[in-house]
Amino acid sequence: MKRVLEGSHSVAEAVRLAKAEVIAAYPITPQTHIVERLSDFCADGSLNARYLRVESEHSAMAALIGASSAGVRTFTATSSQGLALMHEVLHWASGARLPIVLAEVNRALAPGWNIWTDQTDSLAQRDTGWIQLYCETGQEVLDTTLQAFRLAENVSLPVMVVLDAFYLSHTYEPVDVPDQEQVDRFLPPFTPRFMLDTERPCAFNQMAPPDVYMEMRRSIQEGMEEALGRFAEMEDEFKKIFGRSYGAVEPIACEDAEIILVTSGTMSSTCRQLVKELRSRGEKVGILKIKLFRPFPAESIRRRLKTARKAAVIDRNFSFGSGGIFAGEVKAALCDIPERPVVFSFIAGLGGRDVTVGDLENIYMQTKNHDVPQQESIWTGLRPASAPAPDLKR
Amino acid sequence: MQPEVPDRDYMFPGHVGCPGCGAAIAMRFLLKALGEKTVMVIPACCWSIIAGAYPQSALKIPVLHTAFETGGAVASGVRAALDMKGDTETTVVTWAGDGGTFDIGFQALSGAVERNEDFLYVCYDNEAYMNTGIQRSSSTPYGAWTTTTPGRDWKKMRKKNIVEALVAHRIPYAATASIAFPEDLFRKVAKAKAIKGARFIHIFASCPTGWRIPSEISVKIARMAVQTNIFPLYEVEDGLRYTINFFPKGYLVKEYFRLQGRFKHLTEKDLDQIQSMVEEDWKLLLRKAGLS
Ligand SMILES: Cc1ncc(C[n+]2csc(CCOP(=O)(O)OP(=O)(O)O)c2C)c(N)n1
Ligand code: SF4
Ligand SMILES: [Mg+2]
């Protein structure tokens, strides 16, 4: 049924349809609407789950580690400082091979306090062993949350569904909310391979000396590798039931494109607008939207980018001392092939600064007008150093 | 009347604790009282090692090893999951050291107790971070040497009173227990097991390695801690009703301190001061129990 839903509520609807059994969460803007709506569902009985109102994000993830180890479907949501606080236990969740699903609303990290969108919080967790899926629209948010449970349970790894603060979390869009019967067909009840069981007592997560630890780490990587194939298979199944699919990466007008803009999240929508305009003026431009960030779909990215002359990766994030994080990953994926595009790395929209069609057109023109990038990372939309900070008292 | 402690053990003899480890003795008696319908959560502590490395385990019950500060939270999640599966019979127990309880895990414990999660939290107290090599914790007593309170920097702060902190949460059941009083320990665990909601047991568990005592006096030292009123045995129900379980004859703390290497630097004057601190604490407890 089509409904007009806020992005946050799309997440909550999917969690209800997925019949999560234990939810533990702690409030932080701009994630709160997700957990408030889930509280409503638990209170009015439309979701039969235990909801733990824990005293921190660290405890939220820890509680889900306990619940998931006992063999039930689990969910939490967080953002920014909350995700950073969880860091230690994010590693724990993947190391313990627990299919926990987390909705992460991209928000800038302090200081200074900034509640607006920025991907550095989730990307800083890239080495924690979590699958990461970035979303562009309200529909994609709902669908991806459903997909996340299935993927997580297929490969025994936790999944992070990532959405932009406000542009997605607080924006209302028409969203097709599927029937319970359809969802049940797509997502069978969770049957854990191992769990805490007094009939079959086992020790979990115990000491692992050097002679066994490395194999355990290797098996996490095997899970990640398996997730690439499972993602495609899962999307095929999803498409059969719901008629929609997204792809680990989505190429838009890439076939004959000389310049490809590489994006993720809601900025992809602005790029779509720009590409429509540029194409009508005869420019050979396309977009490669990256949805799956971990495991990184390097092969698909190579396949889509190798025929272009240039790629402009636009990062709403930054790794200090290095550069845009998607750009770094894309360059690494391309470096082994002989015929590859020149990669330009642009930094835009940190801390929720608006990135307009005009800004993206500038990025496109800079890429077009230079044979090689002028800098390792090109920061766009910066106020000139001489310009005073805006007067907030006005 | 003290109960019969059953012969059946839920711990294998092949654990890797030091000889005379009070924490190993405490676990043995705890499990005798809890039985096999128990799921245990162990945050980082000596017991992360004592329980054995992959693929072996010294315990006959399911164990979930977890991060250091998560004892209260992980157990809350296990409980929630078991409840969702309709299993209200299994006891969920967190087993943590003093560091994991008084310090880094206090927030998660306080949260779980405030929510009145249906679980038992047991702290085995060896009065320092032993796993990492005898560093001070907020449970380390006044006067003690540790590797982070060496020489004349011996600890000059009181031991935190964890039971009173939890009593302030109006926890349904809180008790102290000692490895030197196994029947009392067994009875308290059995009693806690039957209560719904959050329960806390604080077990005094001597540590020969960290306290610089011979392993064969481990239990004797624990007994002396009770006999000197340094570690009184008592219970508190609903955060209100105090019951003192043992009234010592008033041994002097000196005798307890003199046997332990960790206190060997203390002067007569220091020991006199500690004696008066212990007496003050005991009087306060008597008042709470309505006995003075
Ligand atoms: C976040 C974090 N900080 C530090 C450690 C290192 N660490 C492991 S066990 C431990 C001390 C445990 O002390 P306690 O809880 O008293 O248990 P004990 O070792 O004395 O039995 C420390 C500091 C850790 N595992 N995790
Ligand atoms: S250091 Fe102390 S608590 Fe740890 S195993 Fe040895 S005796 Fe037991
Ligand atoms: Mg300790």
Our answer on whether the CB atom of B100 is closer than 6 Å to any ligand 1 atom is yes
C-alpha A137/C-alpha A260 separation (Å) is: 21
CA of B226 to the centre of ligand 1 (A): 26
Residues of chain A with CATH 3.40.50.970: 2-242
In this complex, the residue of B48, B53, B108 whose CB is nearest that of residue A59 is: B108
Decide: B78 and B124 in contact? Cβ < 8 Å.
Answer: no
C-alpha B238/C-alpha A181 separation (Å) is: 47
C-alpha A193/C-alpha B167 separation (Å) is: 40
pLDDT above 90: residue B40? yes
Amino acid letter for position B111: G
Could you tell me which residues come within 8 angstroms of residue A308 by beta carbon, excluding any fewer than 6 positions away?
Answer: A254, A257, A258, A259, A260, A286, A341
* ipTM topping 0.85: yes
* The pLDDT of residue A394: 53
Asked if B76 and A54 come within 8 Å (Cβ–Cβ), the reply is yes
Decide: A361 and A278 in contact? Cβ < 8 Å.
Answer: yes
Asked if A206 and B65 come within 8 Å (Cβ–Cβ), the reply is yes
The CA distance from A384 to the nearest CA of chain B, in Å, is: 46
pLDDT above 80: residue A185? yes
Which atom of ligand 2 approaches the CA of B22 most closely?
8
* The pLDDT of residue A385: 81
C-alpha A229/C-alpha B229 separation (Å) is: 65
pLDDT tier at B13, thresholds 50, 70, 90: confident
| Degrees to nearest 5, angle at CA B291 with B289 and B292 | 120
Instruction: Quick: pLDDT tens for A110-137.
Output: 999 999 999 999 999 999 999 999 999 9
Residues of B in contact with A208 (CB under 8 A): 53-54
CA of B103 to the centre of ligand 1 (A): 10
As given in the structure block, the two tokens for residue B207 are 């540590």
Decide: B181 and B246 in contact? Cβ < 8 Å.
Answer: yes
pLDDT above 90: residue B27? yes
Cα dist. B288→A84, A356, B127, B164 in Å?
A: 43, 68, 24, 11
Our answer on whether the CB atom of B218 is closer than 6 Å to any ligand 2 atom is no
Residues of A in contact with B36 (CB under 8 A): 198, 201
* The pLDDT of residue B119: 98
Instruction: Quick: pLDDT tens for A272-306.
Output: 999 999 999 999 999 999 999 999 999 999 999 99
What is the pLDDT averaged over residues A200-227? 98
C-alpha A189/C-alpha A72 separation (Å) is: 9
The DSSP code sequence of B195-235 is S-S-EEEEEE---HHHHT--GGGHHHHHHHHHHTTSS--EE
Our answer on whether the CB atom of B105 is closer than 6 Å to any ligand 2 atom is no
Decide: B174 and B163 in contact? Cβ < 8 Å.
Answer: yes
Does the N-terminal peptide bond of residue A189 adopt cis geometry, omega within 30 degrees of 0? no
Question: Taking the alpha carbons of B204, B205, B211, B216 in that order, is the dihedral positive or negative?
Answer: positive
Instruction: Quick: pLDDT tens for B45-104.
Output: 999 999 999 999 999 999 999 999 999 999 999 999 999 999 999 999 999 999 999 999
Instruction: Quick: pLDDT tens for B163-180.
Output: 999 999 999 999 999 999
pLDDT tier at A393, thresholds 50, 70, 90: low
CA of B139 to the centre of ligand 3 (A): 8
Percentages helix, strand, coil for chain B (3-state, rounded to 5) are 40, 15, 45
In the block, which residue shows the tokens 């935190």?
B160
CA A152 vs. chain centroid, Å, equals 14
Our answer on whether the CB atom of B58 is closer than 6 Å to any ligand 2 atom is no
Residues of A in contact with B72 (CB under 8 A): 59
- SS3 category, B42: strand
Could you tell me which residues come within 8 angstroms of residue A319 by beta carbon, excluding any fewer than 6 positions away?
Answer: A120, A123, A325, A328
Torsion of CA B101, B107, B111, B116, to 10 degrees: 20
Instruction: Quick: pLDDT tens for A32-55.
Output: 999 999 999 999 999 999 999 999
Cα dist. B87→A279, B37, B39 in Å?
A: 62, 10, 12
pLDDT above 60: residue A82? yes
Q: Is B91 on the interface with A (CB under 8 A)?
A: no
Instruction: Quick: pLDDT tens for A321-335.
Output: 999 999 999 999 999
Domain ranges, ordered by start, for chain B = 22-288
* The pLDDT of residue A55: 98
CATH topology of domain B22-288: Rossmann fold (3.40.50)
The DSSP code sequence of A260-318 is EEEE-TTHHHHHHHHHHHHHHTT--EEEEEE-EEES--HHHHHHHHTTSSEEEEEES--
Amino acid letter for position A108: A
Ligand 1, atom 22, lies closest to the CA of B132
As given in the structure block, the two tokens for residue A54 are 């824990």
Amino acid letter for position B49: I
Report DSSP state, residue A26.
-
- In CATH terms, is domain A252-379 a member of 3.30.70.3280? no
* The pLDDT of residue B3: 75
Asked if B67 and A92 come within 8 Å (Cβ–Cβ), the reply is yes
Closest ligand, as measured to the CA of B18:
2
pLDDT above 80: residue A389? no
Element containing residue B287 per DSSP (H, E): helix B268-288
Asked if A203 and B110 come within 8 Å (Cβ–Cβ), the reply is no
CA B30 vs. chain centroid, Å, equals 11
Mean pLDDT estimate for chain A: 97
The DSSP code sequence of A65-111 is HHHHHTT--EEEEE-HHHHHHHHHHHHHHHHTT---EEEEEE-PPSS
Q: Is B88 on the interface with A (CB under 8 A)?
A: no
What is the pLDDT averaged over residues B210-218? 98
Which chain A residue shows the shortest CA-CA distance from B108? A59
Residues of chain A with CATH 3.40.50.920: 252-379
A2-242: CATH superfamily: Thiamin diphosphate (ThDP)-binding fold, Pyr/PP domains (3.40.50.970)
C-alpha A264/C-alpha A140 separation (Å) is: 13
* The pLDDT of residue A392: 64
Asked if A206 and B74 come within 8 Å (Cβ–Cβ), the reply is no
C-alpha A243/C-alpha A129 separation (Å) is: 30
pLDDT tier at B292, thresholds 50, 70, 90: confident
Neighbours of A197 (CB within 10 A): 15
pLDDT tier at A9, thresholds 50, 70, 90: very high
What is the pLDDT averaged over residues A171-198? 97
The three-state DSSP-derived secondary structure of A117-139 is: CCCHHHHCCHHHCCEEEECCCHH
* The pLDDT of residue A8: 98
Query: pLDDT over 90 for what percent of chain B?
Result: 97
C-alpha B141/C-alpha B125 separation (Å) is: 11
Chain A residues whose C-beta is within 8 A of a chain B C-beta are 21-22, 24, 49-50, 52-56, 58-60, 62-72, 74, 88-89, 92, 196-198, 200-209, 212
Element containing residue A6 per DSSP (H, E): strand A2-6
User: Taking the model in full, what pTM does it have?
Assistant: 0.97
As given in the structure block, the two tokens for residue B177 are 């227990």
What is the pLDDT averaged over residues B22-40? 98
Torsion of CA A336, A338, A342, A344, to 10 degrees: -10
* The pLDDT of residue A388: 72
Instruction: Quick: pLDDT tens for A220-261.
Output: 999 999 999 999 999 999 999 999 999 999 999 999 999 999
* The pLDDT of residue B1: 60
